[in-house]
Amino acid sequence: MCYYNGQKVSRAEYIQLLQLEKAVAKYDFLNKDIHDGFAYGPIAVLKPNEAKDNFDIVQMEWGFLPKYLKDREAVEKFRRGYKNEKTGKWITGYTTLNAKAENLFENEERNGVSMYAEAAKERRCLVLSTGFFEWRHIFPANKRTGLPVKTAVKYPYYISLKDEEYFFFAGIYQEWTDKTTGETVETVAVTTAPANELMTQVHNSKMRMPTILNPDLAWEWMMEDLTEDRITEIAKTQYQSDKMQACTITKDFKESLSPAEPFEYEDLPALEFNI
């Protein structure tokens, strides 16, 4: 999955999508090396205008919210989980930072109903990225038995594109209103696809990756009227492994001033995929 993302664009750069350009100098929020998805804070999103012939760069709350949630207390329970007062059982929360491409319109876990269907059909956007973070799980041999240990050792990686300083994830968004306070926010989820050859090795626990779109697909995703089949097809796009790069980073990268700085581990087997 994609739960940590970088969005640091210098004032000298431009966000470009086909023939559309927007200077980023006035967007002070485009200066963050890492967004922790579980903070459910604002991230930079390219949102099409009503005519779908241009876009705005806006901030949306990362973590898609269904419209039926009444207030922030309900949101907290939805995201974090809660204890049922009558049964005493713990009700697991939903992580909606990501939306699986396969579940945009149907979700077997929710009796065939997907909370993302309307947004996938009507409200598609692009989430800006300069690189994202994932963990690789390694099961080293037990020194006594020689068998793989049961608990994996996790190594963080920073993944970016070789020839692009920034790129776009496919996203879907939805406006949510707090019925108690009147607060209204736009919330967003990044769509994810089955992992490509590189990400199968890096994110080897869940075998997923964010849907990275080239400029043509990004335009089509955000601006065109699409069928459900085409939406799903684009959402399942696997970006080419040979155009991506991955490097190990320090395990405390979330607290680091330079979270994407490479860090080598002597005991970590190299990736088999030649990057």
Specify the higher pLDDT residue, 198 or 20: 198
Domain extent at residue 188: 4-255
Averaged pLDDT for residues 204-218: 94
Q: Is 243 contained in some domain?
A: yes
Q: Is 97 contained in some domain?
A: yes
The whole-number pLDDT of residue 180 equals: 96
Q: Is 121 contained in some domain?
A: yes
The whole-number pLDDT of residue 55 equals: 87
Q: Is 190 contained in some domain?
A: yes
Judged against a pLDDT cut of 50, whether residue 18 lies above it is answered with: no
The whole-number pLDDT of residue 147 equals: 79
pLDDT band, very low/low/confident/very high, at 151 (cuts 50, 70, 90): confident
Judged against a pLDDT cut of 50, whether residue 14 lies above it is answered with: no
Specify the higher pLDDT residue, 18 or 41: 41
pLDDT tens digits, one per residue of 37-85: 999 999 999 999 998 888 888 999 999 999 999 999 999 999 999 999 8
Averaged pLDDT for residues 8-16: 49
Beta strands 208-210; 184-194: pairing state:
antiparallel
Q: Is 267 contained in some domain?
A: no
pLDDT band, very low/low/confident/very high, at 165 (cuts 50, 70, 90): confident
The whole-number pLDDT of residue 19 equals: 43
CATH number, domain of 142, equals 3.90.1680.10
Number of domains in the chain: 1
Q: Are 5 and 37 in contact (CB under 8 A)?
A: yes
Q: Is 270 contained in some domain?
A: no
Angle between helices 228-235 and 215-223 (to 10 degrees): 140
Could you tell me if residue 63 is left (phi over 0), alpha (psi between -120 and 50 degrees) or otherwise beta?
left
**Mean pLDDT, the chain, as a whole number?**
89
- 157, two tokens: 């990686």
Q: Is 91 contained in some domain?
A: yes
Q: Is 150 contained in some domain?
A: yes
Averaged pLDDT for residues 152-168: 93
The whole-number pLDDT of residue 20 equals: 43
Q: What is the pTM of this model?
A: 0.88
pLDDT tens digits, one per residue of 76-131: 999 999 999 889 999 999 999 999 999 999 876 666 779 999 999 999 999 999 99
